[in-house]
Amino acid sequence: MSTPILTIDNIVKHFDITGGFLDQIKFKHGKFQLEKTTVKAVNNVSLSINKGETLSVVGESGCGKSTLARVVMGLYPPNSGQILYDGKRIDHLSHKEMLPFRKKMQMIFQDPYASLNPRKTVQRTLEEPLRFHHPEMSSKEINNKILEIMEQVGVDTAWTKRFPHEFSGGQRQRISIARGLILDPELVVADEPVSALDVSIQAQILNLLMEAGQKRGLTYLFITHDLSVVQHISTRVAVMYLGTLCEVADSKILFENPRHPYTRALLSAIPKVGETSAKHIKLKGEVPTPINLPPGCVFHDRCVNANERCRTDVPVFTTLEDGTQIACHAVEENREIA
């Protein structure tokens, strides 16, 4: 098999949210001590993405999807682990060494209202990355490129002089996509690119992304919590819970036969048009915070299949016959799963 375009190797990302010195002083066991509070957002995540595929990361709010995306993009340094692009390590590069990779990897953000600079016209938003990465291009070439990309994403080319506030949410998201595509990237990391949009506009944007992907042979790392969207666009799916991956599988296999108890609960909760019954799998308890991670399997508090081993040992990835990777003691032990 060829080298994956992106390899996420055992990434850990924690945030120190202790605050000032006074916040750190805690009175415990009869004496004062200094204590740090850390959010364990991403824990030992490994994942590789092949050229041309769309890999979606799904999971509930706060499970660490955006943090993982930002680590991949070099926006957060990981605490440990590596990011490889085409086999080359990129997570520890200097700003200058990172430049050629910045061109190949682009990110599209969730909020079409916050991700565009309100003081820049569409022209400037699209022109700046070109001028920066391609100083050799003439103004005419740059303008042609801008017109070409605007046409591709379906934004009227007469609107180049307009500011973001003059556009609707859907149109703004098209402009962010245009900005993401204008440098002809190989890999696009899209963090919830349609979550803020109405279904009728969402369909327009998803079609646009799928079409651009096919035409340009793009690879997508797609982040979303909308499972219907995931099922529609993904080649493979990675399911994340509390900073940890629980199942990585071919999209078709995952939706037909989810095996991790969390994946099963998640998929059973998707409401579908035309289905009245609500026979979703009920989870116990509440989602724990990533500040106090449970020992053993991070899902054990809420899992009806948990046994003693689940409460103490961290399950590791095993690969099943069909290539599905799964981290669950019950699956590994061939236990009956409820």
Partner 1 sequence: MSHLLDIHNLEVKFALRTGDIIAIDNVNLTLDKGEKLGLVGESGAGKSVTGFSIINLISKPGFISKGKITFDGDEISSYSDEEMRKIRGNKISMIFQDPMMTLNPVFTIGTQMIETLLAHKNISKAEATTIALDKLKKVQIPSPETRLDQYPHELSGGMRQRIIIAIALLTDPQIIIADEPTTALDVTIQAEIMDLLQELCKTDNMSLILITHDLAVVSQVTEKIAVMYAGKIIEYGLTNEVLINPQHPYTKGLINSIPGTIEPGGKLYQIPGMMPTLSKIPSGCAFNPRCTEKKEICETAIPEPKITDAGTMVACHMI
Residues that bind ligand ATP (CB under 6 A): 15, 17, 39, 41, 59, 61-67, 225, 290
Q: Among 19-27, 125-133, 226-234, 292-300, which window interacts with partner 1 (CB under 8 A)?
A: 226-234
Residues 5/50, Cβ–Cβ less than 8 Å: yes
Give the x/- contact pattern for partner 1 in 258-277, rule: CB under 8 A: -------xx--xxxxxxxxx
Looking only at the bridges linking them, the beta strands covering 54-58 and 236-241 are parallel
Shortest separation between residue 283's beta carbon and partner 1, angstroms:
6
Could you give the CA distance from residue 102 to residue 109 in angstroms, rounded to a whole number?
16
Could you give the CA distance from residue 122 to residue 154 in angstroms, rounded to a whole number?
13
Cα three-residue angle 173-176-178, rounded to 5 degrees: 110
If one counts every other C-beta atom within 10 angstroms of the C-beta of residue 334, the result is 7
Give the x/- contact pattern for Mg ion in 41-80, rule: CB under 5 A: -------------------------x--------------
Q: Does 125 bind Mg ion (CB under 5 A)?
A: no
Could you tell me which of 164, 208, 204, 170 has the C-alpha nearest to residue 188? 208
Could you tell me which of 79, 82, 75, 124 has the C-alpha nearest to residue 102? 75
Say which residues have a Cβ less than 8 Å from residue 138's Cβ, sequence separation at least 6.
Answer: none
State which of residues 119, 140, 199, 334 lies at the interface with partner 1 (CB under 8 A).
199
Q: Does 286 bind partner 1 (CB under 8 A)?
A: yes
Residue 292, contacted partner among ligand ATP, Mg ion, partner 1, none, CB below 5-8 A by kind: none
Q: Which spans of this chain sit near Mg ion (rule: CB under 5 A)?
A: 66
Q: Which spans of this chain sit near partner 1 (rule: CB under 8 A)?
A: 60-61, 168-170, 198-204, 206-207, 210, 225, 227-229, 231-234, 251-252, 265-266, 269-278, 280, 282-283, 285-287
